[in-house]
Amino acid sequence: MTRLVVVSNRVASPTETKGSAGGLAVGVFGALKDSGGVWFGWSGDVVSDSVANQGPKLEQDGAVTFATVGLPKKDYDQYYRGFSNATLWPVFHYRNDLAVYDRDEYAGYRRVNSWLAHRAIKLLQPDDVIWVHDYHLIPFGEALRSEGVTNRMGFFLHIPFPSPQILLNIPPHEELVKSLCCYDVVGFQTPGDQAAFHDYIVRHAHGTATADGEVEAFGRKLKTGVYRIGIFPDEIAEQATRGEARQDVMDLKQSLEGRKLIMSVDRLDYSKGLVERFKAFEYFLEKSPEWRGNVTLVQIAPPTRSDVDTYQQIRHNLEYEAGRINGRYSGLDYTPIRYMNQRYDRWKLMSLFRESQIGLVTPLRDGMNLVAKEYVAAQNPDDPGVLVLSQFAGAADEMKGALMVNPHDMVGMSEAIGRALSMPLAERRERYETNMVMLRKYDLGVWRDSFLADLRGVKLNKPLSKRPAGNK
Ligand code: ADQ
């Protein structure tokens, strides 16, 4: 099998890939181990220009080379904090209102992608298959192509692809889509994301796109596909049961004194709908006095990107809301919302999921949302909790056993909480089984293998002699 080169904004460390990290790191590492190869990307460090230019730093683990570079402060600001997280992230999550556009940051984004491509070129071999991940690296493939790299190159977008009317808000939208067309395979989380991309190709890029993902645009042919990222459900179940007896989980259980537990775990991000969730829980307590004192919401949300303004704001809002709601409904021995800002070991999170009666996963928009899947896989099959899930998470496409909610509908969310808390065992089991069928069908291995099979099998692109027909 040909070697695999994975390129992502952040590279997991060799120790993280051994199990303490999320499923993605483990899944990608599995593919790398099978075929041998390189995992290339940013180390997460901000360094001086001269240190950055010394990279990449190489670490070997069996047949896998971890190759990382540091970024100078200006590059970090423009590429990561700026265009990636203050422009692309909000717009791709339908939050134009939070997006800022700055030409210099965009120029920095493209410059860093070209610089990263130059750093990567020296690690490449002629037959390597290159798999690039996520919105930080959209122009990475184009930068390689402009240096004459003709290897098979695929791109997977972990976040939603917005409908064209939203994407048009980013001034260089056409350059971004043109960059995507330099890959041989472009993968999306859901059919809706793929359709939005096709829509742009046909209506705004004078291209063509067929239902089975054959795209021609900007003088290139490529394949698009839907590859639903998943988890390894048995591994999660094992982590959840391994943790069951551990002291802190027992302590939490004891401190609940028989109250029902609702679990929510997210990165602290405005796309995750945390404020709306807190308000819905408050509304539930207001309308259901019998539940006051009898149910606790545990929200675990470690801060991310805390040097981006909008992230500081969401943190303040959330602290304010948690304090306000707790002020209103706490008793001497009861706190309705326990809000924690730390990261937790995976086994601990999974066993907390298993102890809880509801997994409340209500993003305003999410590419997939692995927490929803982990919540289900962590349940006790004999007495499972209920997943309450936003219709705007990519996972909603598969998890038909969830109670589906619109996160903008406070009353609807409150009703779903009430319904989940009193759902009979037989219905809980049935819903759990429905979800588990899909978790098994689309596990992390299927995601990875189907993407790579398409990339390895795709007909290599030949430059088109003329623009495709059917232009508007
Ligand atoms: P994220 O936005 O990070 O991922 P998600 O899919 O839920 O969202 O993944 C988060 C991961 O981090 C989960 O595995 C979760 O268990 C873990 N995690 C969260 N909080 C934690 C904590 N406090 N301690 C330890 N671990 C924690 C992006 C996209 C998603 C897409 C994924 C994968 O935004 O839509 O599903 O990539 O493609």
Decide: pTM greater than 0.85. yes
The CA dihedral of 129, 192, 365, 164, to the nearest 10 degrees, is 90
Residue nearest to atom 9 of ligand 1 (CA): 370
DSSP bridge partners of 338: 298
Q: What is the mean pLDDT of residues 77-97?
A: 97
User: What is the pLDDT at residue 214?
Assistant: 97
- CA 41 to centroid of chain Cα atoms: 17
| Domain 233-440 indexed as CATH 3.10.129.10 | no
Is 434 exposed, middle or buried, given 0-12, 13-18 or 19+ CB atoms closer than 10 A?
A: middle
CA–CA separation, 313 and 98 (whole Å)? 11
User: What is the pLDDT at residue 190?
Assistant: 98
The ligand 1 atom at the shortest distance from the C-alpha of residue 342 is: 23
Separation in Å, CA 276 to CA 267, 297, 357, 411: 15, 14, 20, 11
Dihedral over Cα of 254, 257, 263, 264: its sign: negative
State if residue 260 touches ligand 1 by the CB under 6 angstroms criterion. no
Separation in Å, CA 361 to CA 3, 21, 167, 274: 38, 20, 26, 9
Ligand 1 geometric centre to CA of 265 (Å): 9
Please name the residues in contact with 35: beta carbons below 8 A apart, sequence gap of 6 or more: 1, 2, 3, 4, 129
Instruction: Compare 15 and 71 and report the one with higher pLDDT.
Output: 71
Same fold, 4-230+445-457 and 233-440: yes
Is 354 exposed, middle or buried, given 0-12, 13-18 or 19+ CB atoms closer than 10 A?
A: buried
Residue type, 182: C
User: What is the pLDDT at residue 359?
Assistant: 98
User: What is the pLDDT at residue 261?
Assistant: 97
Instruction: Tell me the percentage of the chain whose pLDDT exceeds 70.
Output: 96
Mean pLDDT of the chain: 93
State if residue 360 touches ligand 1 by the CB under 6 angstroms criterion. no
CB 366 within 8 A of CB 392: yes
Architecture of domain 4-230+445-457: 3-Layer(aba) Sandwich (3.40)
Q: Is 31 left (phi over 0), alpha (psi -120 to 50) or beta?
A: alpha
Residue type, 58: L
CA–CA separation, 472 and 470 (whole Å)? 7
What is the set of active-site residues? 158, 366
pLDDT reading at 345 higher than 90: no
State if residue 166 touches ligand 1 by the CB under 6 angstroms criterion. no
Q: Could you state, in order of their start, the residue ranges of all structural domains in the chain?
A: 4-230+445-457, 233-440
Separation in Å, CA 443 to CA 84, 414, 447: 28, 31, 7
State if residue 371 touches ligand 1 by the CB under 6 angstroms criterion. yes
pLDDT reading at 472 higher than 70: no
pLDDT reading at 463 higher than 60: no
Q: What is the mean pLDDT of residues 54-74?
A: 95
Residue type, 20: S
State if residue 302 touches ligand 1 by the CB under 6 angstroms criterion. yes
Ligand 1 geometric centre to CA of 363 (Å): 12
Lowest mean pLDDT among 60-64, 100-104, 400-404, 430-434: 60-64
CB 185 within 8 A of CB 458: yes
Q: What is the mean pLDDT of residues 197-213?
A: 98
Residue nearest to atom 37 of ligand 1 (CA): 158
Please name the residues in contact with 454: beta carbons below 8 A apart, sequence gap of 6 or more: 154, 185, 187, 223, 225
CA–CA separation, 414 and 311 (whole Å)? 26
Q: What is the mean pLDDT of residues 266-283?
A: 96
Confidence of residue 306 (pLDDT cuts 50, 70, 90): confident
User: What is the pLDDT at residue 251?
Assistant: 86
CA–CA separation, 331 and 376 (whole Å)? 31
State if residue 344 touches ligand 1 by the CB under 6 angstroms criterion. yes
Ligand 1 geometric centre to CA of 22 (Å): 7
